[in-house]
A and B are shown apart, each in its own frame.
Chain A
């Protein structure tokens, strides 16, 4: 692997540096250099009320995450790399990130027919049910593949992709098969482009198919359970394959993707040998003024990693996003859902309606109403025979029928959001949510907490004082009898376009049964933006919580301190 890195860097450098003196003029004429960077740094303070002491901080009061990415392009050729530093990683990020280095580099050549990447790459087949590599800086998540990717366009409307590589795992280099080798093939057919007779058709149809395989060395594995050691046979190649279509007629759009994974005993499914199945569908209809969308997802034993022994959320080959609505208001995102890869059945529906200007309910400037409902249950699992408990290690685990829905509710969210303008200077967003959160299942506790039922109300008002100055308020309430009880939150934010903002926020857990934990989480932030550079400084408490982006969630412990964020791009 080191050789590969050396070779690649030599390739990048030689192509950039040594050509340069020879034909400096031509070289610079057509070339472009772009990049981006971010630094997040914090100075953490002990806070006895929040249980934060020097020892829980491990004496490391100052922490920093940062990266710089530079991309170079010349004609059909592109190369780039990203330098990352975690010294040490900020609180809430995995300690294994500690370090500095260049985890991402690539060279790419592209023309109308072929697109080749050597090095690291991010790729998604279909909706990602079988393969998706991506990076999410705010989560400390990166599962990029390092290897070779080839994309071909042999005929109009046909795209073929092949990938071959190993995934990033923090800073651990790949060697001696210490994790799986991922191979994947994907084909997309845009029928309207392929056949002239369909060119002007109102019906747009695309079809796609995927095959992915992970090779992991080792035909047997010793697994310890109930103080006994079991030697299990392991499949060295685990395949995941499926197909998809997208049909668009007039205002309707229908997408579906199905995947089947063959037996993949792994730490995350307690080493059962059952095959996995997954189905994702979305159906939407929209025309001017109204939009309706219904999504459904059914997955059974679909976790797919390039190392079967890990149970954290790294090394995912596929992507299993939650289909529930992603909330960003502080209290609305207190209880977020995260996908249960071992089995869930979910549905989510959204209706967005715009009531036009000068109508009776819309008033002078109109109004938008969005209603969303989602529910996720477990799937119906039955024992394989009378003597084997469900999920028993080394067996087929359980039986289930395709698209079965279990009785246990994992999550439910019903919410309404109304956006309205009041005259030229005022606008408001009013939100009400009712959430049901099965804390034991979602956070993986053993019947400790039960289910949290919460009602949340949010008022978000913006006052455009002048053309450049505006003031925004948020008032939020969360009411629940379970978990930590009731919360109230308020925010005031003053912005001066295009450069400045300052905000003050407080989240108050006034309903906590433990009077000593009825804390205020105050946070004062200020920032300055100039073109693509943004500097923000904040001071105060962050409550513990779960941050989710897409299919991955990260637990963030409570902190108190000063945080600096600097982002820029060129």
Chain B
């Protein structure tokens, strides 16, 4: 009885909010504790790129499509940065089992992204991410303008096209 009451109210609530589409946009990033590779705590709210676009990619060392995606981006990352000024944050959701493998892996592979650790998936949960890989694109104001789940070869080309659009001031649908 109480459950159905709660559920009814929830539906009412979401129903009333659906009308206002902008409530579904991430205007700012949630403030969640992350760790950098030196073990220092930082906040997800500090993710920024001096007014230029930001890509946030959720991944893990054991996730094959994630590693394929980041490898594909790594191959062209220098060119991307030079052309568009974009910055990629790779958020590793590796837990205690494999979080100490993250730094050796990214250095071993020669990736130049900023990598942050989310060992109990707090940021992943706050961003409502389910299966990984999951990629967010933020505009210079830090608003999420696009997101995508899974990876297929060629997705990285679409991503950089969207970054170029942002830089031209075009709207992303």
A residues near B, CB below 8 A? 2, 5-6, 9, 13, 16-17, 20, 28, 31-36, 38, 69-73, 78, 81, 83, 101-102, 110, 122-124, 127-129, 132, 134, 137, 159, 188, 190, 192-193, 204, 206, 246, 248, 251, 253, 255, 280, 282, 284-293, 295, 319, 321-323, 326-328, 350-354, 356, 366, 368, 370, 419, 462, 464, 466-470, 472, 495-501, 529, 531-534, 550-551, 567-570
A534 touches B6 (CB 8 A): no
Contacts of B100 in A (CB 8 A): 253, 255, 282, 284, 293, 295
What residue in chain A is nearest B144 (Cβ atoms)? A34
CB<8 Å pairs between A and B, sample of 26 = A9-B6, A17-B9, A17-B12, A32-B25, A72-B13, A128-B96, A137-B130, A204-B39, A286-B103, A286-B108, A289-B108, A291-B105, A291-B106, A319-B95, A328-B64, A353-B108, A354-B109, A419-B71, A470-B153, A497-B154, A497-B157, A497-B158, A500-B152, A533-B149, A568-B130, A570-B24
A102 touches B154 (CB 8 A): no
What residue in chain A is nearest B108 (Cβ atoms)? A352
Query: A2 vs B103: C-alpha distance in the bound complex, in angstroms?
Result: 46
B154 touches A498 (CB 8 A): yes
Query: A567 vs B119: C-alpha distance in the bound complex, in angstroms?
Result: 23
Query: A397 vs B25: C-alpha distance in the bound complex, in angstroms?
Result: 58
Contacts of A468 in B (CB 8 A): 154, 157
B2 touches A9 (CB 8 A): yes
Residue in contact with B128 in the complex, picked from A28, A69, A287, A551, CB distance below 8 Å: A69
Residue in contact with A291 in the complex, picked from B40, B107, B146, CB distance below 8 Å: B107
B39 touches A467 (CB 8 A): no
Contacts of A497 in B (CB 8 A): 152-155, 157-158
Query: A541 vs B62: C-alpha distance in the bound complex, in angstroms?
Result: 24
| Given known A69-B128, A134-B121, contact A321–B95 (CB-CB < 8 A) | yes
Which stretch in B26-34, B48-56, B78-86 binds the other chain?
A: B26-34
Residue in contact with B96 in the complex, picked from A248, A280, A288, CB distance below 8 Å: A280
| Given known A5-B2, A28-B17, A70-B14, contact A321–B104 (CB-CB < 8 A) | no
B108 touches A291 (CB 8 A): yes
Contacts of B95 in A (CB 8 A): 128, 134, 319, 321, 550
**B150 interface residue, CB < 8 Å from A?**
yes
What residue in chain A is nearest B13 (Cβ atoms)? A16
Query: A410 vs B76: C-alpha distance in the bound complex, in angstroms?
Result: 43
What residue in chain B is nearest A324 (Cβ atoms)? B97
Residue in contact with A6 in the complex, picked from B2, B27, B110, CB distance below 8 Å: B2
Tell me the smallest distance from the CB of B4 to a CB of chain A, in Å.
Answer: 10
What residue in chain A is nearest B63 (Cβ atoms)? A328
B: number of interface residues (CB 8 Å): 68
A326 touches B97 (CB 8 A): yes
Tell me the smallest distance from the CB of B55 to a CB of chain A, in Å.
Answer: 15
| Given known A36-B128, A291-B108, A534-B131, contact A206–B39 (CB-CB < 8 A) | yes
What residue in chain A is nearest B149 (Cβ atoms)? A532
B58-88 at interface with A (beta carbon < 8 Å): 62-64, 68, 71
| Given known A122-B125, A248-B38, contact A83–B147 (CB-CB < 8 A) | no
| Given known A2-B2, A280-B96, A470-B152, contact A190–B20 (CB-CB < 8 A) | no
Contacts of A322 in B (CB 8 A): 97
Query: A502 vs B137: C-alpha distance in the bound complex, in angstroms?
Result: 27
| Given known A38-B130, A352-B109, A470-B152, contact A127–B39 (CB-CB < 8 A) | no
B149 touches A284 (CB 8 A): no
B104 touches A9 (CB 8 A): no
Residue in contact with A498 in the complex, picked from B17, B26, B155, CB distance below 8 Å: B155
A13 touches B152 (CB 8 A): no
Query: A206 vs B33: C-alpha distance in the bound complex, in angstroms?
Result: 15
Query: A129 vs B154: C-alpha distance in the bound complex, in angstroms?
Result: 41
Query: A366 vs B104: C-alpha distance in the bound complex, in angstroms?
Result: 18
Query: A253 vs B106: C-alpha distance in the bound complex, in angstroms?
Result: 14
**B122 interface residue, CB < 8 Å from A?**
yes
A81 touches B109 (CB 8 A): no
A569 touches B154 (CB 8 A): no
**B114 interface residue, CB < 8 Å from A?**
no
Contacts of A134 in B (CB 8 A): 95, 120-121
What residue in chain B is nearest A16 (Cβ atoms)? B13
Contacts of B153 in A (CB 8 A): 462, 464, 470, 472, 495, 497
B110 touches A534 (CB 8 A): no
A35 touches B38 (CB 8 A): no
Query: A19 vs B127: C-alpha distance in the bound complex, in angstroms?
Result: 25
Given contacts A253-B39, A295-B100, A532-B148, 17 further A-B contacts (CB under 8 A): A28-B17, A32-B23, A102-B3, A110-B31, A123-B120, A124-B120, A127-B96, A246-B39, A255-B39, A284-B103, A328-B63, A368-B108, A497-B152, A531-B149, A534-B149, A550-B95, A569-B130
Tell me the smallest distance from the CB of B12 to a CB of chain A, in Å.
Answer: 7
In the A-B complex, the 7 residue pairs with the smallest Cβ-Cβ separation, listed nearest first, are A352-B108, A291-B104, A497-B154, A321-B97, A282-B100, A291-B108, A286-B107
What residue in chain B is nearest A531 (Cβ atoms)? B148
Contacts of A290 in B (CB 8 A): 107-108
B146 touches A531 (CB 8 A): yes
Query: A309 vs B38: C-alpha distance in the bound complex, in angstroms?
Result: 41
B41 touches A159 (CB 8 A): yes
What residue in chain A is nearest B27 (Cβ atoms)? A32
Query: A35 vs B27: C-alpha distance in the bound complex, in angstroms?
Result: 15
A470 touches B154 (CB 8 A): yes
Query: A124 vs B42: C-alpha distance in the bound complex, in angstroms?
Result: 16
A534 touches B150 (CB 8 A): yes
